Every structure is written in structure tokens, then in C-alpha cells.
Structure 1
Amino acid sequence: MTGKPVLVAHGDRPREGGPDRKEVEVAVGVLIRADGAFLLTSRPAGKVYEGYWEYPGGKVEAGETVEQALRRELIEEIGVTIGAVHPWKVERVDYPHALVRLNFCKVYEWTGELHMHEGQQYAWQQLPVTVQPVLPGTVPVLQWFAEERGFEGPTHS
């Protein structure tokens, strides 16, 4: 795939699967409260990048649209049913374990109480975020928020 360059995370580490790795499609939910705070969740124990903070979401399964995958993943992962999905931006990230295409979608409405089904933590954040470490694929989103909101200074610690 050509076009926008790929964000390379931890380029000093070897890549699994070699140069012909298949790109993994991922649906990512950027839940935003009325006060502008956004939801970050920690990666669960036992997963790659355990303890890193990210936006919730997951892989798009065969036959699913990004929106369908996001709805399914957010029920499974954090226990909420989302309203309208607003596709926002796409970022390709080359992690040592996978090449991913992150489809970021803004979500302003949801029902249900947050329940972390995978034992992860969650935090409502404003810029600059106070949780760390932040997953490399999350960093561009913080920069996009900074641009949208006219925020000057570092977006994370």
C-alpha cells in the first residue's frame, strides 16, 4: 500500500513475519465526554505492550465493517454500547509484532457503565495526558487533539 508513511514503533526491534506481513485492520474508539475528556485504557496483562495506555478497540474480523467491529469490541472490552460512530483518521503503525491499520473513530454517545472485562484500567484524560507509558499508535491521536484544541506543549509525559 502506498501513500502516507507508516509510523514505525520501536524500530530497533526485529519484525515478526518478515517484510511481507499482512496488515491487520483495527477499529479504535475515541470516546469523548461533554467536557472534552477522552477515555484511555491500559493494555491487559498477558498481551503485547502490557500496561501501555491506548484507546479501546480491536481487530476487524472477516466480513465486518470498521463500525461493526468497533461496536462489538467496545461491548466485549469495556461494556458499553455506542451511539453514532464518526470516522476520524487512519494511522498505519509498524509494531515489532504486527503491521496495523488503525481506524480511529470519535464516539460522543454510549450507554452502559464502563466495565473493564479484560482486567485493564481506564482513565478519563485531558491534554497533557498523565497516564504512562502511552502506546506508540496512540501518540498521533494526542497530537491531533492538540491541533484541534489549540493546545501548546507536550501531549504526554
Structure 2
Amino acid sequence: MLSKSDLLLVVAAAMIDPEGRVLVQRRPAGTPMAGLWEFPGGKVEAGEVPETALARELEEELGIAVEAADLKPCAFASEGLGARHLLLLLYLVRTWRGAPIAQHAEALQWVHPSALRALAMPPADVPLVAALERLV
């Protein structure tokens, strides 16, 4: 049985541009799963609600501003991570202020949802691709 401290709550954004493409970022060298493409986002800190955490993470990672009210729940993934367990909440984002800039990632890439299947992604992100294909 998992304790509360064994559960890692993470939020991510499926940012959709006017052409129906999704933004992904490549994890930098020296980090776990370096070189894999992922949806931008990060950990929910103590005392944060997921939407507030995602807005904070998008500002930190991409330099953009997102209103929590503009985040639409999309899908989730549940994945074992060694002794811990990851619960990844994915939100659709169609509205933001500013142009995304890779502040902590090696690169950013806009791709159509069907092209996500060809990218090497972390295990928790992979099952989210099918949900995006249906929604976008």
C-alpha cells in the first residue's frame, strides 16, 4: 500500500496552437529520462491545487502566462516510478500570453497529435497520446 508521500502528483499541458499542433519539450541532459519528449509541466507542490501548479510551471518552464480557468482537464496517467507512484494529470490549453521559450528544456517542438507516436516519450506520457488524438 502506498503512503501519501509515495504518490507523486504531476501536472502537464497539452498546449494546442491554432493549427491543431501540440507543444512538446525535450528533457535536458543530466536529468532523469534525458532526451525524451514530454508535455510541459511539473510537480504539484504542497498546498497547491493542480491548476495553480500548472500555471506556475508553464511560467517557469516556458515564460508564458496561463489563467487557471483556461486549463481544461483532459486525461490522466498512472505509472510506477521505482518505490514511488506517479499520477500525471493532463490539461488542454488553447489560450496563453507570450511565446513559449525553452527555459529548462533542450528544445521545443510543435507536432500534430498523430506525430507524437513517433517521438520517444516518458512511459507516463505515452497513454495520453490516444486521448489527445481523439480530442484535437
Please say whether Structure 1 and Structure 2 have the same fold, judged by a TM-score greater than 0.5: yes
Range class of TM-score, shorter chain: 0.7 to 0.9
Identity percentage of aligned residues: 30
Q: Deviations over 1:54-82 (max 9, x none)?
A: 10000000000000100100010111111
Q: Is the 8 A contact 1:25 1:102 kept in 2?
A: yes
Q: Report what 1:116 is aligned to.
A: 102
Q: Deviations over 1:88-111 (max 9, x none)?
A: 222111133742110111100011
1:96-115 mapped onto 2 (5 Å cutoff): 96=82, 98-115=84-101
Q: Report what 1:42 is aligned to.
A: 26
Q: Amino acid of the residue matched to residue 143 of structure 1? A: A
Q: Which runs of 5+ in 1 are unaligned?
A: 2-18, 150-157
Q: Deviations over 1:11-69 (max 9, x none)?
A: xxxxxxxx767010111111011211001111122110001001000000000000010
Aligned to 1:129, what secondary structure does the other structure show?
helix
Separation (CA, whole Å) in 2 of partners of 1:30 and 1:97: 28
Please give the root-mean-square deviation of Cα atoms over the aligned residues, in Å: 2.1
Separation (CA, whole Å) in 2 of partners of 1:54 and 1:131: 12
Distance 1:34 1:145, change over 3 A: same
Separation (CA, whole Å) in 2 of partners of 1:24 and 1:142: 21
Q: Report what 1:52 is aligned to.
A: 36
Q: Report what 1:27 is aligned to.
A: 11
The normalised TM-score by structure 1 is 0.76
Q: Which runs of 5+ in 2 are unaligned?
A: none
- Please state which structure has a larger fraction of its residues in helix: 2
Q: Is the 8 A contact 2:26 2:34 kept in 1?
A: yes
Provide the aligned length of Structure 1 versus Structure 2: 132
Distance 1:42 1:85, change over 3 A: same
Task: Report how far residue 85 of structure 1 moved.
Answer: 0.8
Separation (CA, whole Å) in 2 of partners of 1:148 and 1:109: 16
Distance 1:54 1:98, change over 3 A: farther
Aligned to 1:51, what secondary structure does the other structure show?
coil
Q: Higher Cα Rg: structure 1 or 2? A: 1
Are 1:145 and 2:129 counterparts? no
